[in-house]
Amino acid sequence: GENVEQHPSTLSVQEGDSAVIKCTYSDSASNYFPWYKQELGKRPQLIIDIRSNVGEKKDQRIAVTLNKTAKHFSLHITETQPEDSAVYFCAASETSGNTGKLIFGQGTTLQVKP
Amino acid sequence: DTAVSQTPKYLVTQMGNDKSIKCEQNLGHDTMYWYKQDSKKFLKIMFSYNNKELIINETVPNRFSPKSPDKAHLNLHINSLELGDSAVYFCASSTPRGLWSNEQFFGPGTRLTVL
């Protein structure tokens, strides 16, 4: 089955700096890669996603890149702000199947210091 | 309007008891899920139902039994609770299956503490 590895487990940056979180996946059939943000005590919420027919996607300060050959994808946050502090999860899914199953990475705790 | 709701938000109980968590979504989604988030924040899929049919059943003790009375509700019943069941349980629902995305909408979570 699919396995998703996420690094680093914790990341501390100064406000205004960039943050990068990396994930690798094992199943070449995976074709959908979302990123979820979970603030302390809250539910995970989708912040950006990318499909396997696209190599890069950007939404304001957040961007995601995908390398299908190497089976890895990354989240890039630029000009970080204290409110970006949260746990970030990557995930992988094979959407043409009939389960919609998401396999999550282990999570990265991002701390943005003011 | 709350899209995915769960009750209760907190559940504190003794070992050996039986408890239930309820989930409802008003998004019109066909698929619902239960996840367990342990103390290390790891999110692990437990079950999924599509239109009342069980489609994902991960390696979960059979003390856990999901029930979906209709496609808007997915409940989780846990028998003979153990200390290791302490976690936050999230319900989620997703858009109809398709080739382009499977965005999942999570409920607020139920923090279960077994004493």
- Whether the pLDDT of residue B99 is over 60: the answer is no
- Whether the pLDDT of residue B98 is over 70: the answer is no
pLDDT, tens digit (0-9, with 9 covering 90-100), for B57-78: 887 899 999 999 998 999 999 9
Taking the C-alpha atoms of residue B115 and residue B108, their distance in angstroms, rounded to an integer, is 22
Residue type at A17 in one-letter notation: D
Q: Which of A91, A87, A58, A64 is nearest to A76 (CA)?
A: A64
Residue B90 with chain A: CB contacts under 8 Å: 43-44
Residue B98 half-sphere exposure toward CB, CA atoms < 13 A: 11
For residue A42, what are its two tokens?
């809250």
Using pLDDT thresholds of 50, 70 and 90, give the confidence band for residue B100. low
> Are B108 and A49 a contacting pair at CB < 8 A?
no
Using pLDDT thresholds of 50, 70 and 90, give the confidence band for residue B91. very high
Residue A92 C-alpha, separation from nearest chain B C-alpha, in angstroms: 10
Using pLDDT thresholds of 50, 70 and 90, give the confidence band for residue A88. very high
Q: Look at residue A100 in the predicted model and tell me its pLDDT.
A: 73
Answer for the pair A49, A36: CB distance below 8 angstroms, yes or no: no
pLDDT, tens digit (0-9, with 9 covering 90-100), for A95-110: 666 667 889 999 999 9
Residue A89 with chain B: CB contacts under 8 Å: 43
Q: Look at residue B52 in the predicted model and tell me its pLDDT.
A: 83
Query: Among residues 16-35 of chain B, which lie with CB inside 8 Å of chain A?
Result: 31
With pLDDT > 70 as the criterion, what percentage of chain B qualifies?
93
Q: Look at residue A97 in the predicted model and tell me its pLDDT.
A: 61
With pLDDT > 90 as the criterion, what percentage of chain B qualifies?
69
Searching chain B, which residue's CA lies closest to the CA of residue A3?
B44
Searching chain A, which residue's CA lies closest to the CA of residue B46?
A101
- The secondary element (H helix, E strand) that includes residue A56 is strand A56-59
Q: Look at residue B22 in the predicted model and tell me its pLDDT.
A: 98
Q: Average pLDDT for residues A4-10, to the nearest whole number?
A: 97
Residue B44 with chain A: CB contacts under 8 Å: 104
> Are B48 and A95 a contacting pair at CB < 8 A?
no
Residue A104 with chain B: CB contacts under 8 Å: 42-44
* Residue recorded with tokens 């924040």: B41
Residue B8 C-alpha, separation from nearest chain A C-alpha, in angstroms: 15
Q: Look at residue A52 in the predicted model and tell me its pLDDT.
A: 83
- Whether the pLDDT of residue B2 is over 80: the answer is no
Contacts of B88 (CB under 8 A, 6+ apart): B36, B37, B109, B110, B111, B112
pLDDT, tens digit (0-9, with 9 covering 90-100), for A28-43: 888 889 999 999 999 9
Q: Average pLDDT for residues B66-91, to the nearest whole number?
A: 95
* Residue recorded with tokens 């989620």: B92
